[in-house]
Amino acid sequence: MANPPFYIGVGDYLNVIVDIDASGHRILSMNLLQVNGVYPNLPGPIFIYTNTGTTTLGDYQGVCGINELARLQIYNSNTAIPIFGNAYVRHNTAKIVIGLTDDHTIIVNQTVANLKALSTAFKSKKNIANIVYIP
């Protein structure tokens, strides 16, 4: 079941798909919408997972903070990232498994709130340098 995208900030929207798997769990899949193959304002992968040291993602942890964007490596399904010094990795999709009776709107609303905070922090850091040309 697809929901209308959630507004994050100017140009940024979170796409949320809710499915039910064969064992009766609700699966939430979330990702930022791209425009012409690029993310409008927030940088690509913003969801954190535990690094397994293999080409498989570990458990979903949450949304990146502003300082984690530069620090955490981006997950690549073709290349294992060593765990030492890399306990977590960034990925472009959040996949969360919850019970069928659990209220998924709480998780979605918290994710939207975290993304809005990240968007605000990112925009405030984005233009901190001014280049002054002295003739």
Burial class of residue 2, CB neighbours in 10 A (0-12, 13-18, 19+): exposed
- Contact indicator for 66, 117 with CB cutoff of 8 Å: no
Confidence (pLDDT) at 120: 87
- Give which of 119, 121, 134, 127 is closest to 40, Cα–Cα: 119
Confidence (pLDDT) at 129: 52
SS3 state at 72: coil
Confidence (pLDDT) at 132: 63
Confidence (pLDDT) at 37: 81
Tokens of 129: 């340098």
What number of other Cβ atoms are within 10 A of residue 11's Cβ? 13
Confidence (pLDDT) at 35: 82
pLDDT (tens, 9 = 90+) of the chain, 135 residues, equals: 556 788 887 778 999 999 999 998 999 999 998 888 888 888 889 999 999 999 999 999 999 998 898 899 999 999 999 999 999 999 999 999 999 889 999 999 999 999 999 988 888 875 555 556 676
Adjacency order of strands within the sheet including 25-32:
6-9, 12-20, 25-32, 93-99
- Give which of 77, 12, 74, 85 is closest to 46, Cα–Cα: 74
Confidence (pLDDT) at 16: 92
